[in-house]
């Protein structure tokens, strides 16, 4: 299991693994509980979790049983096109809400996202994007 390999014991209710996973991933503990009970989170949360785990979104969806390998005919690597357009990116504030960042941590979170996006813009990376600057 991907989570167990990363040190998250989610099998025991008293292990603290679910809470630690939520904190480390920057999502609400209730979100982790809902996901583990079989509910499908919003796409924004799935993106946050796939990035946190370092797994491409298509692989994340297949591993979680939300998609089949055949659902992804053309990867962004084969087509040469980015899978996510910066025109449709969330603002840092929207991302904080979607990720379940507690209100008291949102200013810090927004600042960090903006810094990372600026760094991505400076590096010419696809992770940046002035349109998403908010």
pLDDT (tens digit, 9 = 90+) per residue, 84-121?
444 456 778 887 777 778 888 888 888 888 888 777 66
Say what percent of the chain tops pLDDT 90. Answer: 0
Rg (alpha carbons) of the chain, rounded to whole number: 16
Contact assessment for residue 21 and residue 3, using Cβ atoms and an 8 Å cutoff: yes
The DSSP letter of residue 64 is T
- The burial of 59, by beta-carbon neighbours within 10 Å (0-12 exposed, 13-18 middle, 19 or more buried), is given as middle
For tokens 């693994």, the residue is 17
Confidence class for position 126, pLDDT limits 50, 70, 90: very low
The DSSP element (H or E) to which 118 belongs, if any, is helix 106-123
| The pTM of the whole model exceeds 0.95 | no
Q: How does pLDDT run across 32-90, given as a tens digit for each residue? A: 888 888 888 888 888 888 888 888 888 888 888 888 888 876 545 454 444 444 445 67
Q: What is the pLDDT of residue 132?
A: 44
Contact assessment for residue 112 and residue 98, using Cβ atoms and an 8 Å cutoff: no
């Amino acid at each position: 299991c991907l989570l167990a390999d990363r040190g998250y014991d989610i099998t025991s209710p008293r292990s603290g693994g679910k809470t630690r996973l939520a904190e480390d991933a920057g999502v609400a503990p209730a979100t982790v509980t809902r996901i583990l009970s079989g509910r499908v989170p919003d796409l924004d949360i799935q993106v946050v979790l796939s990035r946190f785990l370092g797994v491409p979104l298509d692989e994340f969806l297949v591993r979680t049983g939300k998609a089949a390998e055949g659902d992804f005919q053309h990867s962004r690597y084969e087509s040469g096109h980015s899978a996510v357009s910066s025109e449709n990116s969330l603002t840092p504030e929207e991302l904080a809400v979607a990720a379940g960042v507690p209100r008291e941590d949102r200013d810090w979170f927004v600042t960090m996202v903006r810094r990372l996006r600026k760094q991505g813009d400076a590096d010419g990376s696809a992770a940046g994007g002035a349109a998403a600057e908010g």
